[in-house]
Chains A and B, each alone.
Chain A
Amino acid sequence: MSRTLEDFAMLSREHRATTRAAAILATAALVAGGCKSSGAPAQGESPTLVAYTGQATDYQINFNPFAPTRIGGTGTIFQTLFFYNIVRNDKPVPRLGSQFSWNPAGTQLSITLRTGVTWSDGEKFTAADVVFTLGMIAKNKGMNNGGYAGHAAAVDDTHVTITFDKPSFVDGPSVLGKTYIVPQHKWKDIADPAVAVVKDPVGTGPYLLDEFKPQAFTLKANPAYWGGEPAVKKIRYLALSGNQAGATALKAGQIDWQTGPVPDLKNVEKSYSGYRAVVTPLNQIVLDTCSNAALGCQGPQTDPAVRQAIYRAVDRTQLNALAFENTGSGISPSFLLPGRDKALISAGLRNPTAPMQPDVAEAQRLLESAGYAKGSDGIYAKDGKPLALTVKTVAGWTDYITAANTIGQQLKQAGIKLTVQQLSWNEFVDAKDRGSFQLIIDSLYQGPAPDPYYVYNYFFSTAQTAKVGAKPGPNVSRFSDPQIDQALDTLKHTDPADIAARQAPLQTIQTRIEQAMPYIPVLTQGTISVYHDAKFTGWPTSDDLYAFPAIWQDPDNAEVIMRLKPSGK
């Protein structure tokens, strides 16, 4: 370093402008020497939890819990009435509410609220705040991202009833577990709350906003929190440039909690000293098929026999090892989660979980009985058309690209030709929405409660689909089946607590889905979170998944943070 500086200094005698350059360089070098120690916490200070949510550019301040671009505070500053743990079949955990009940028809929801809760500005939290929040959502359609269609009324300070026009058991979790309650006295004067930028949030939660900078913001513990001041005193959320930068920061020990793939997962504890990883199976990796010729889909995948043949020909063990570092796990063709929904899986299914080993003979039998014949090139064909399919994925999604290529190799053994096409993110989203695809490697996600109803309603109901060319809801396969629609309707009218009454419709759906298979089950994806175990204790583990341990999942992340304790090391 010093030699370079001398060279510059020599040159600078020759040329005036270079003197300035050298001065700047020299300053930088001095600073480089002098500033290294900054940032280390002082002795005895409670450690700050540093989280990286995947924020890829600078933050723009907005803590409005209803904005799609909110930057945080949901669960930590603002709270819901209850907490639903979607990874385990737990009862809803009371937060601002203490209990709730439905009338038998499912048209009235009575909620009892917690007493002794105050807003962070000292005002008392009452039923009026809940009624106000729900009324505001109903009035401002741009805020109503949970499909709320009820009328809330306060019975007294601690009791609220919500009436619905139709049976709405299944809408409960989104109202109770996903709607963040805001203070009436602060929000009633906001003219258009949907687009309001909330800069100093007032909530009931365990944390308060400490300071905001575009590159990072900090929350501090709320000493007046109704559940007692949390043990982690400060949380800092960083903005980095994406997952690559996240991995670098993790490697340097600069972040304590990150969700996303890490290289060499098996050796996390060795390569990141003091860190541990938790792999949570939740999203289901599938091949979306454009399945419904009646709604405009074209291609061999509109034939259920082809979809079944692909399902049989996939070697899931090999795929898991090659594409997913063995973080995937078994998947049920009923799309129930093998762990959480074990009790619900129908005995009438041919495979309760998809076979991990391929059955090429069975795949070929299915194709032959559907009228396909093997050509001289080893590829099946029907009416002179070879059985060739294209699977679309996003350029840069390395795990899905590897998976699609591996599946392509495996299907070749069974006489099916699969071409992988990588698209830009925007093209991919467009193709998926318009139905201009044959296959897409994708994943199905869960709803607001640990209940398979939501997966079925989102991805298999006629109401959530549309013709090819028009934009559907989540049901991009264009699948439509009257039996399933009817069973979903029955579930909508049945109290989720009435397990016996839900049995029959759930079984119908499972059977029909296994037969039709509009989404070809691949594996259940493991969501990987890496956390600093040596600095804080109390993290969720695979044995005790008290919340979905992903930093970007709210309000689960707040549930985790509330339970953490500095380890004192």
Chain B
Amino acid sequence: MSYYLRKFGFYLVALWAAVTLNFFIPRMMPGDPVDILMAKLQQRGSGVDPSARRAYELLLGTHTDEPLIKQYIAYLGNLVRGDFGVSVSDFPTPVSTVIATSLPWTVALVGIATVLAVLSGIVLGVFVGWRRGTWLDSLVPATTVLSAVPYFWLALVLVAGLGSGLGWFPLLGGYDVVLNPGWHADFLGSALYHGFLPALTIVISSIGGWLLGTRNMMVSATAEDFVLTARAKGLRERRIMIWYAARNAILPSIAGFAISLGFVVAGSIVTEQVFAYPGIGSKLLQAVQNNDYALMQAIFLVITVAVLAANLAVDLLYGIIDPRTRTGG
């Protein structure tokens, strides 16, 4: 039992540290939200009256002389109550609303793409590792090259080829904006159609890592004595591959998968930029560019909590699927 208590204690400390850094780091950024807002309005060239600064300071309530430590305590209190405050860049929308409208897009797109990448990577890895020395080995360098290519470049090439050139896929957006979002075939179809190319780029660029990792584990697992024993017993090849070799070889990949699920909510800022896809990544960019502390904090918090939760889940799960990790020393 103390194994689990230790784990929980550690995660609580990690959460507190993350929440605290979350508060202080954004405030070290130069400038304040009103400066940025004024500069942005002026950049547009529309005549912004100088008195707008005072108006916006009053409106956004950013002109505060409260000491940082007091703000910090208030921030912790608000977090406990689940109050993330109001977004300055989408004023006066509450941060929770901003996140609620953008997070589902990201979770659906990046989530599905990650699951696809991991599953196909692991399955291919198991095959390639089992049949090592055959032509299948050439899959390893092929997919690794695709992972090594800078992601934005790969995405732009696919957009240029499949989107602009062949016209098979739409270039931009999450769905055809003529449609109304909802649980009906038109919208879901349009969303799948628009999401296909972004998801494809994520799968292509990340499959290589999973494939390589699983394949190498598979190679070392097939050299183990228990595989030899299984062979000696005369078991069928497929049974040995899946239940003896693969079952042990995919353990590290499962850990990696859980952690990458945690990062799903961080979205992919680059994917969302290239495809003008609605999601949390572009909101994070907006928050950083506008010194929108409340939105930044909330998004970072969501990411932190998701990653910590995923880690905790792996830790707990590992104790079960691999009993060796439970015993100390």
Contact = CB atoms under 8 A, between A and B. Distances in A.
A433 interface: yes
B46 interface: yes
A239 B42 CA distance: 21
A445 B46 contact: yes
A146 B52 contact: yes
B131 to A, nearest CB: 13
A69 interface: yes
Interface residues of A, number: 84
Contacts of A67: 59, 91-92
Interface in A317-337: none
A426 B189 CA distance: 40
A149 B25 CA distance: 40
A35 B190 contact: yes
B30 interface: yes
A21 B58 contact: no
B37 interface: yes
B42 A474 contact: yes
Interface in B62-110: 87, 89-93, 97-98, 101-102
Interface in A64-122: 67-69, 86
A455 B283 CA distance: 35
A58 interface: yes
Contacts of B36: 425-426, 429
Interface stretch (B116-124, B142-150, B260-268, B314-322): B116-124
Contacts of B164: 248, 251-252
A32 B58 contact: no
Contacts of B199: 28
A426 B101 contact: no
Interface string A21-65: 100110111011011001100000000000000001110101000
Given A213-B181, A215-B174, A458 B112 contact: no
B54 interface: yes
A14 B282 CA distance: 39
Contacts of A239: 276, 278
A502 interface: no
Contacts of A454: 47
A215 B179 CA distance: 11
Given A56-B286, A282-B45, A248 B172 contact: yes
Contact of B179 (A38, A58, A194, A473): A38
B193 interface: yes
A17 interface: yes
A239 B190 CA distance: 17
A278 B307 CA distance: 50
A471 interface: yes
B49 A146 contact: yes
B235 interface: no
B278 A35 contact: no
Contact of A433 (B31, B51, B90, B116): B31
Contacts of B11: none
Interface in A423-437: 425-427, 429-433
Contact of A426 (B30, B48, B89): B30
Contacts of B42: 445, 474
Contacts of B285: 56-57
A448 B47 CA distance: 6
A227 interface: no
B290 to A, nearest CB: 9
A474 B47 CA distance: 11
Given A146-B51, A447-B47, A427 B283 contact: no
A147 B175 contact: no
A238 to B, nearest CB: 7
Given A38-B190, A248-B172, A11 B102 contact: no
A553 B45 contact: yes
A473 B180 contact: no
B169 A458 contact: no
B273 interface: yes
B49 A14 contact: no
Contacts of A425: 36, 289
Contact of B168 (A32, A196, A427): A32
B44 interface: yes
Nearest to A527: B45
B41 interface: yes
Nearest to B56: A68
Interface string A248-283: 110110100000000000000000000000000011
B196 A32 contact: yes
A446 B55 contact: no
B50 A31 contact: no
A145 B278 contact: no
Contacts of B7: none
Contacts of A11: 120, 123
Contacts of A14: 123
A216 B47 contact: no
Contact of B31 (A29, A39, A430, A554): A430
A197 B49 contact: no
A376 to B, nearest CB: 39
Contact of A21 (B45, B52, B119, B273): B119
Interface of B: 29-31, 35-37, 39, 41-42, 44-56, 58-59, 87, 89-93, 97-98, 101-102, 112, 115-116, 119-120, 123, 159, 164, 168-169, 171-181, 186, 189-190, 192-193, 195-196, 199, 272-278, 282-283, 285-286, 289, 291
Q: Which 5 A-B pairs have the closest CB atoms?
A: A147-B51, A142-B59, A430-B30, A145-B52, A216-B177
10 contacts: A17-B123, A24-B112, A32-B193, A144-B51, A145-B48, A254-B172, A430-B30, A433-B35, A458-B50, A550-B44
Interface of A: 8, 11, 14-15, 17-18, 21, 24-25, 27-29, 31-32, 34-35, 38-39, 56-58, 60, 62, 67-69, 86, 141-147, 174, 178, 194-197, 211, 213-216, 236, 238-242, 244-245, 248-249, 251-252, 254, 282-283, 425-427, 429-433, 443, 445-448, 454, 458, 464, 471, 473-474, 527, 550, 552-554
Given A35-B190, A69-B90, A195-B92, 7 more contacts: A38-B190, A58-B102, A68-B52, A143-B59, A213-B180, A239-B278, A443-B45
